[in-house]
């Protein structure tokens, strides 16, 4: 019997191109907006320069002062933060004969047609490739560590946690700089009794130890397990037996921490560990390569068996924390734990 020609699939990739190109942003943009992440188009490297002013420079003047002694030598400094995008791919190889006996529910009773050589799932497959790639990028946002030898989505680029680890190792994040707050072992453990409110007390300790300008207007990033334990702990402190409402929790926390505009963000891509952070909104960037005029999803027949079709999607991505200066950033000493189950509907 004649095999299915990939010409129809290739034409479909071109036909749906305008729709397909919007898919990554339809999936990534809501998550980026929720997390306060800026999405940038980056060709290999983007460098952000932050100007930091030096403080405590003014002093009283007297007519007999020595000008050389009185003068200050530095008013500020420039700090550069790089975002380097790394190449990743989604290389799907599929035997299109797999569908000859299957009815595609979403497309009526269509099957692979050897006469028209039209694949019944052409758009669905193309959409699935893009959606999965986008969800894989989301999976990598926090736990990602770039490693070309590790063939898993979390090895595509360095995410938030690795960026923090790198800055800790370089001394850019440190207790002495006011942007690293030590809480000790297991600070947000689930309460062990109805009188245990340790998790809430540790969150309050973290906020009160952070820079007051950041605390008043920052965004608090909490893994959901941490948030649940803290809310239960506050319920214990206030002797509430029912679940503590999220908006009431935030109102109470703002008052206790003197943080009038504090916001809380919790997202599954943060994982299940106990590292928490406080940042000004918009302090994170996700860099993606420009699509330009290249085929967004390539459909290729490169195998001896003409029924084997390769769908190839390629992109460059990277992540950056824009500033770790104490007025814009603080992080705890907890341990992040990745959740790698976010992408797709199944993984094995």
pLDDT (tens digit per residue) in 248-262: 889 999 999 999 999
Q: Has residue 240 been placed in a domain? A: yes
Q: Which residues pair with 329 in a beta bridge?
A: 279
Say if residue 146 is in the same domain as residue 254: no
Domain span at residue 268? Answer: 173-279
Say if residue 86 is in the same domain as residue 231: no
Domain count, the chain: 2
Say if residue 156 is in the same domain as residue 238: no
Q: Has residue 160 been placed in a domain? A: yes
Say if residue 94 is in the same domain as residue 126: yes
- Report the phi/psi class of residue 223: left, alpha or beta, with left for phi > 0 and alpha for psi in -120 to 50: beta
State how far the Cα of 270 lies from the Cα of 93, in Å rounded to an integer.
31
Give first-to-last CA distance, the chain, whole Å. 32
Span 256-278, average pLDDT: 95
- How many Cβ atoms from other residues are within 10 Å of residue 116's Cβ? 10
| pLDDT tens digits, one per residue of 278-326 | 999 999 999 988 644 344 777 777 778 877 878 888 888 999 999 999 9
- Residues 277, 280, 282, 285, CA torsion sign: negative
Say if residue 154 is in the same domain as residue 179: no
Say if residue 198 is in the same domain as residue 310: no
- What's the CA angle centered on 184, arms 179 and 187, to 5 degrees? 100
Does pLDDT of 114 surpass 70?
A: no
Q: Which residue has the higher pLDDT, 50 or 140?
A: 140
At which residue do the structure tokens 């998550």 appear?
31
Q: Has residue 254 been placed in a domain? A: yes
Task: Name the CA dihedral angle for 206, 211, 215, 219, rounded to a multiple of 10 degrees.
Answer: -80
Give the model's confidence band at 13: pLDDT under 50 very low, under 70 low, under 90 confident, else very high: low
State how far the Cα of 61 lies from the Cα of 43, in Å rounded to an integer.
51
Closest CA to 183 of 337, 335, 332: 332
Say if residue 114 is in the same domain as residue 183: no
State how far the Cα of 346 lies from the Cα of 12, in Å rounded to an integer.
26
Say if residue 294 is in the same domain as residue 260: no
Say if residue 309 is in the same domain as residue 198: no
The two three-digit tokens of residue 234, written as one number: 């506050």
Looking at residue 293, its pLDDT comes to 33
Does pLDDT of 331 surpass 80?
A: yes
Beta strands in the chain (DSSP E): 37-41, 45-53, 76-84, 86-95, 180-181, 219-221, 263-265, 277-279, 284-288, 298-300, 308-321, 329-332
Does pLDDT of 264 surpass 70?
A: yes
Say if residue 188 is in the same domain as residue 215: yes
Query: Exposed/middle/buried for 158, CB within 10 Å: 0-12, 13-18, 19+?
Result: buried
φ, ψ for residue 101, nearest 5 deg: -105, 10
Span 16-43, average pLDDT: 76
């Amino acid at each position: 019997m004649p095999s299915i020609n990939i010409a129809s699939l290739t034409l479909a990739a071109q036909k749906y191109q305008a729709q397909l190109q919007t898919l990554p942003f339809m999936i990534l943009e809501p998550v980026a907006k929720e997390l306060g992440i800026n999405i940038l188009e980056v060709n290999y490297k983007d460098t952000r320069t932050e100007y930091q002013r030096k403080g405590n420079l003014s002093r009283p003047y007297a007519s007999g002062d020595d000008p050389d002694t009185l003068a200050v030598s530095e008013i500020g400094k420039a700090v550069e933060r790089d975002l380097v995008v790394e190449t990743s791919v989604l290389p799907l190889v599929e035997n299109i004969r797999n569908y000859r006996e299957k009815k595609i529910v979403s497309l009526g009773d269509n099957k692979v047609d050897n006469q028209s050589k039209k694949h019944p799932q052409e758009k669905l497959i193309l959409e699935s490739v893009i959606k999965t790639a986008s969800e894989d990028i989301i999976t990598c946002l926090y736990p990602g560590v770039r490693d070309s030898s590790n063939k898993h989505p979390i090895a595509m680029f360095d995410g938030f946690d690795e960026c923090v680890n790198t800055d800790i190792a370089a001394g850019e994040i440190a207790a002495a700089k006011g942007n690293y707050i030590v809480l000790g072992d297991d600070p947000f453990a689930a309460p062990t009794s109805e009188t245990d409110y340790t998790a809430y007390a540790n969150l309050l300790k973290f906020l009160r130890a952070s820079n007051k300008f950041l605390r008043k207007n920052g965004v608090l990033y909490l893994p959901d397990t941490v948030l649940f334990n803290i809310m239960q702990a506050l319920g214990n402190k206030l002797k509430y037996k029912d679940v503590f409402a999220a908006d009431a929790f935030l109102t109470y926390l703002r008052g206790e921490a003197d943080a009038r505009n504090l916001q809380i963000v919790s997202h599954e891509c943060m994982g299940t560990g106990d590292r928490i952070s406080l940042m000004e909104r918009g302090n994170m960037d996700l860099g993606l390569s420009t699509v330009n005029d290249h085929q967004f999803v390539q459909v290729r027949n490169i195998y001896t068996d003409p029924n084997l079709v390769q769908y190839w999607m390629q992109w460059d991505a990277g992540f950056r924390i824009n500033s770790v200066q104490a007025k814009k950033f603080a992080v705890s000493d907890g341990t992040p734990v990745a959740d790698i189950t976010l992408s797709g509907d199944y993984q094995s």
